[in-house]
Amino acid sequence: MPITQYPQIAAFLDYLKYEKRYSQHTIISYQNDLEQFFAYLSSQFDSPPVNQITAMYVRSWLAEMKEDEISSKTLNRKISSLKSFFKYEMKLGHIEQTPMTTVVAPRIGKRLPVFVEEKDMSTLLNHVTFTHDWKGRTERLVIQLFYSTGMRLSELIHLKESQLDPSNSQLKVLGKGNKERILPLAPELMADIQAYITEKPEKQEGVHTVFITSKGKMLQPRSVYAFVKQHLAEVTTIQKKSPHILRHSFATHLMNHGADLNAVKELLGHTSLAATQVYTHNTIEKLKEVFNKAHPKA
């Protein structure tokens, strides 16, 4: 395997894990990208040493993937993985220059974030009937929390009781890169969560999360995806129906009601304002719609 031919990969992944403190999901993505690239070098160019890898090798690999109709978004992620790897090798002094300086990433067409309309979220939370058992209660509360806070899926399913601060109606979230942020919560929702906690079935050993199944186990990402998709299908026809769509809806609805962009950035846990600015486009589209309907000269 390339991982043994190129021990630098393992060292780089350890750096991401222990120094950068990236999530396991992110590390696996880096590992897959790097192993794929170095496997290609092994099969096509007889495993050149890292300090002899040039931009030509990288472009050759990217060209082959384009022939396989890999999306521009995926190619960009792979390029980003290689850039990080070679930057790390430069930092260690293993190479003098990165081969990535002349590698151009393909352009990605900007797509506006898909979101659920406010009226549809209102219908879901106020009029759709959830089952009255523990499963239904958990599902409703999870969807409420997604929409009320914009939390990521991993942040929500790993949320612990110790992260709740009922006296201040807020909770602490451990986000990407182990960065903490504080999220405000409506007192009514906090009260519902506290009531949920007091009436929990017995947890299995080692489980400390707020949300659990009726068998006392931690929620699994696949099951959360499934019930979020199921319930959103009851109120909306948008194609994508996932926990992340609820995060988009949270941000979009805040922006539509005049929330400050920097405040939304902090609530979402974005490191860059550019990542949050995409939500302003939906706001502009809404303003155009209002203008076209209301202005006599429109």
Q: Is 281 a catalytic residue?
A: no
Active site residue 88: no
Choose, from 247, 248, 253, 265, the residue flagged as catalytic: 247
pLDDT over 80 (residue 107): no
Mean of all residue pLDDT scores within the chain: 90
Residue 286 pLDDT exceeds 80: no
pLDDT tens profile 29-46:
999 999 999 999 998 998
Of 83, 137, 172, 176, which is the active-site residue?
176
* Beta strand pairing call for 180-184 and 170-174: antiparallel
244 is catalytic: yes
User: Can you tell me which residue has the tokens 């006392």?
Assistant: 216
Question: Of 152, 241, 248, 253, which residue is the catalytic one?
Answer: 152
Confidence band of 282 (pLDDT split at 50, 70, 90)? low
Q: Which of 135, 203, 244, 281 is catalytic?
A: 244
15 among known catalytic residues: no
Say what the pLDDT of residue 84 is: 96
Class of domain 2-102: mainly alpha
For residue 73, the model assigns a pLDDT of: 85
Question: Got the DSSP string for 186-230?
Answer: -HHHHHHHHHHHHTPPPPPTT--BS-B-TTSPBP-HHHHHHHHHH
Task: Report domain extents, the chain.
Answer: 2-102, 118-294
- Annotated active-site residue 91? The verdict is no
Q: Evaluate if residue 108 carries a pLDDT over 80.
A: no
Going by C-alpha positions, the residue among 42, 49, 36, 228 that lies closest to residue 130 is 228
Q: Is the pLDDT assigned to residue 25 strictly greater than 80?
A: yes
Active site residue 270: yes
Q: Do the Cβ atoms of 124 and 234 come closer than 8 Å?
A: yes
Give the pLDDT band of residue 293 (cuts 50, 70, 90).
confident
Q: Which fold has domain 118-294?
A: hpI Integrase; Chain A (1.10.443)
